[in-house]
Structure 1
Amino acid sequence: MRKLMLAIFMLLMFTTAISYAAVPHLINYQGKVTDKGGNPLNGSYDITFRIYDAESAGNLLWEETQTGVVVDKGLFGILLGSVTALDIPFDKPYFLEIKVGTEVMSPRQRITSAGYAIRAEVAESVSGFDPGMVGTKIVDETGIGDGKVPVYRTSSGKLNYEILKVVDKGDYPFIFDDAVKTTAINNTSWAKCREMQVYYDGIVRFKFDGSVVGLSVSFKLYKNGVSIGTLRTTTLKNNNYATWSEDISVSSGDLIQVYATHNGSYMGTQANTRNFRACWNLGGGKIN
């Protein structure tokens, strides 16, 4: 009578990974077959492999028979899944049963972590993920420099590599864009200088500054295109900026804007904003 000596190795067969390459559903299996006296066998044998969800009894989940398996000095090696596809999810304990010829070996052997690496394929097809959501410049060859972070922009639906900064100020961290924005005010209406979308519910403190090319300008915060802030006026110019802060109740998705208008003669007047910052309590939230 033959018996199967458990000298078993279970390895997931890896190939060079390319974006969205299929995970090979094959497990490399090696075993040793001896006769009753412990002498290694030689020849060709039909070997059946079965996977159950229990160490004994249980439900048969998968089965394949590999015919003419070559055994040399008692050793053989096969790929589980090469005859019948391994279509089980590997999300709970499984046990392998082996039959050589007509003899079923016991006990069943628990499948170890290598088989469960097949589960990693789920990570390649996460629900709702689209490779097109990632912008072309999240990290370049020099890496992420000081003040540069990826930001999701709702307007484009992409993650973009943008110049933002995070500065700790006590209990309120700031995130802001420090590029100067200029708005010409050659009319009698309020003009939008800056805009950011918030993804936070609660009180957010907004800080902004301004200067003028011309006589004087006024600034005010808007929410979703509606004036809500206090009127701020400055005559500062030539890289001199007035700075203001204001606490505003917001809901996730709100657009907060900085608007400006002229005071007096408006022809040729420009309003400059250098920093538009949002700060919130460390309890949570993110600013886009």
Structure 2
Amino acid sequence: MDTAAQRRLILVVEDEPTLADAVVARLAAAGFDTIHAGDGPSAVEAARTHRPDALVLDVMLPGFDGLEVCRRVQSERPTPVLMLTARDAESDLLAGLGSGADDYLTKPFSMRELIARVQALLRRVELVRQQTLLSTGREGGRLRLRGGDGDAARELEIDHAARRVRMDAVDVHLTPIEFDLLDCLARRPGVVASREQLLAEVWDWADASGTRTVDSHVKALRKKIGAEWIRTVHGIGYALEAAPSQAAPRATESAWARGEPGSVP
């Protein structure tokens, strides 16, 4: 039993009784508290009433679908979401990520992998919380990057402490995992990060079984900040294709990128 899972409440949203019972039972065996909802409206109400630590959310639901559930839940209170989908099309996966889901599993899946994904989501949320507390009161922590040339040049600003992204001074709304992915790439502009490295640093996964998850999130991120910012290195991974802006304090940027003491973690 994972002691970190104790007293964590997971809302399972699944309308197929056999699968719902199996997921609830496996989560309970792993040390989680659980509640169950079988349709869209009751899922939104359960999230509002019980304030779960995470959702395991099926896409196909009566009432309204899991995408709408995810949008409504995230608009009221940001919550980690692992989405379950029977469809494997890229457009369906991007729609799920675009609605605010942090990760997805394609049916059929193993219960062992489901538990590992939920645990990784919760560890990442706790890590973000700790980093935010450490960042409070520190100066700097902003990274400004420039992409393109001449009149086509654009500036991307990432505020690590505030977890805020702006493109040409306009806010870009990212999901928590999209921010973490961009933040990870931005620490080393131009340096290629392998899919396995991104899984370990962003998703806290110890194996390489979810490399397609990385690809799907990169596609979703490109739609929001522009495809030109992230370069694909085929067979390896991705790199943020940008240079530090002259407007940004160079010392702050380099200290942050190197992880020196006193810099934002």
Normalising by the residue count of structure 1, what TM-score does the alignment of the two structures yield? 0.22
| TM-score in terms of structure 2 length | 0.23
